[in-house]
């Protein structure tokens, strides 16, 4: 068995559920009244995967525009970036695409980028995807074109959360 440390950064527009996604993974906890991060929050979690213990050093960045200039400090030297958007707000996918472009231009050339559509619990109760503004097909087209990983999650009920962190 061997030990690996990975630096992971979580990016996306404010109120997309970035912090809730991380807290669900690290503590299996969900807090609807989570206050926004100022700058970034740092969490760690060790995961046993096959014959490896992987220590994830997770930088959960603020989605507020005024902290954007600090973000390169967190994604510099990151091994993995998770870019989160809200499936019920199309504008958040546009912002996520801007983050992906920035990462592709300025981050480590070997960085693994995952695009995560969060808040699927808000549309799961409807048969016709009522409330969804970003279709799975639209997001899939984008990730295939850009060589990204893709997931849809609900930080609230945990759907897909573990899968994101295991796959990366």
Beta strands 52-61; 112-118: pairing state: unpaired
User: With contact defined as beta carbons under 8 Å apart, do 20 and 34 qualify?
Assistant: yes
Task: Dump pLDDT digits (tens) for 65-76.
Answer: 888 999 999 999
pLDDT values of the chain reduced to their tens digit, one per residue, 168 residues:
789 999 999 999 999 999 999 999 999 999 887 788 887 999 999 999 888 999 999 999 999 888 899 999 999 999 999 999 999 999 999 999 999 999 999 999 999 999 999 999 999 766 667 799 999 999 999 999 999 999 999 999 999 999 999 999
User: With contact defined as beta carbons under 8 Å apart, do 153 and 121 qualify?
Assistant: no
- The answer for residues whose C-beta is within 8 angstroms of residue 45's C-beta and 6 or more apart is 25, 26, 55, 56, 58, 165
- The answer for residues whose C-beta is within 8 angstroms of residue 150's C-beta and 6 or more apart is 114, 115, 116, 117, 139, 140, 143
Residue 43 pLDDT: 98
Q: How many domains does the chain have?
A: 1
Give Cα separations from 69 to 64, 78, 86, 168 (angstroms).
10, 17, 22, 26
Tokens of 3: 């030990």
* CATH number of residue 9's parent domain: 3.40.50.300
Nearest to 22 by CA among 155, 160, 159, 163: 155
Domain coverage including residue 47: 2-167
CA distance 85 to 96: 6
């Amino acid at each position: 068995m061997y030990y690996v440390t990975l630096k992971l950064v979580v990016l996306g527009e404010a109120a997309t559920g970035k912090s809730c996604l991380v807290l669900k993974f690290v503590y299996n906890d969900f807090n609807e009244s989570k206050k926004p991060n100022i700058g970034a929050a740092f969490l760690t979690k060790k995961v046993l995967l096959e014959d490896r213990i992987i220590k994830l050093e997770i930088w959960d960045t603020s989605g507020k525009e005024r902290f954007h200039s600090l973000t390169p400090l967190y994604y510099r030297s990151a091994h993995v970036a998770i870019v989160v958007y809200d499936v019920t707000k199309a504008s958040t996918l546009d912002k996520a695409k801007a983050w992906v472009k920035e990462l592709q231009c300025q981050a480590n050339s070997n960085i693994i980028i995952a695009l995560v559509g969060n808040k699927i619990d808000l549309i799961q109760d409807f048969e016709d995807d009522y409330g969804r503004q970003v279709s799975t097909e639209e997001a899939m087209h984008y990730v295939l074109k850009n060589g990204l990983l893709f997931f849809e999650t609900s930080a609230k009920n945990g759907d897909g959360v573990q899968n994101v962190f295991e796959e990366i």
